[in-house]
Amino acid sequence: MIVKKSETRIVTGPEGFERIFFAGGKKLMSTQVNMKNGVVGPSHSHPHEQVNYILSGSLEVTIAGEKTVLNAGDSYYVEPNIEHGAIALLDTVMFETFTPEREDLL
């Protein structure tokens, strides 16, 4: 699969939140998440493994009730079915990967 920038699917959430979908398949999904300062990614869980890498900005991430501030160059992993959420402390860009694909986001 090839996805050119001009063909990229972008989904917006609350004001100041957008997700850009990259090439992927049923077993792997990657996106770029852009969050403006102050945007809240509400606490949730899902049956997928997740890895996020902070490209720029800063987030307060809560995983299983534990809060941590992450900055550009930091990453985090979320096990399946673990409650997690985030608040952008600065304008933030993240690369996120899920396995398997999150059909609920498509």
One digit per residue, the tens of pLDDT, for the chain of length 106 reads 899 999 999 999 889 999 999 999 999 999 999 999 999 999 999 999 999 999 999 999 999 999 999 999 999 999 999 999 999 999 999 999 999 999 999 8
CATH match for 5-105 among 3.30.460.10, 3.30.365.10, 2.60.120.10, 2.60.40.420: 2.60.120.10
102 φ, ψ (degrees, to nearest 5): -90, 90
C-alpha distance from residue 82 to each of 4, 62, 65, 78 (Å): 33, 10, 10, 7
